[in-house]
Amino acid sequence: MALGALVNLALCLLCSSVELVTVLLLRGLALLAVAVVQLLRLPGQAGNAALEAAKGAVDAAVELVLGVAWDVIMAVVSAFLDFLWSVATGTAELTATAVTELLEAARDGGEEAANALAAALEGAVDAALAMATKLVESYVGALGQVVDNLNN
């Protein structure tokens, strides 16, 4: 009977030892699997962070380019409107001067009126040419600013 109890105790110790070793091996394998999954997940997270940083850089670059383009457009429109205003005021002054001269010439005589009319027409042609020249110069200047802003 004592021998049976001793064999029983030895088998219990053997089974418990095998069970403990098995549990330790399985737990170690599980922890190893978790570590491998964590290591495989890190490059994905790093790649995602790099993509987010690149997206932020592209967004900032697009915002900068659109801001510069808007500033250039506003400068061109402002210059064009200033040019039109100066042409309109110059033309109004020229017309007022020509009408005044025509009225004075009409009082003095017909020949002087014809000369004044010819001079007024010549002045109108000169004003139209000056306006066209200023328009072309303004356009070329605006294009130069656009090219300079794009190069910077």
Residue 126 has a pLDDT of: 79
pLDDT for position 26: 94
**Listed residue (80, 59, 67, 60) closest to 150, CA to CA:** 67
- Phi-psi map region of 109: left, alpha, beta (phi>0 left; psi -120 to 50 alpha): left
Query: Which pLDDT tens digits describe the chain residue by residue (152 residues)?
Result: 788 888 888 888 888 889 999 999 999 999 999 988 888 888 888 888 889 999 999 999 999 999 888 888 888 888 888 888 887 787 777 777 877 776 776 666 666 667 777 777 777 777 777 887 888 888 788 778 877 777 76
Tokens of 149: 């802003």
- The pTM assigned to this predicted structure is 0.43
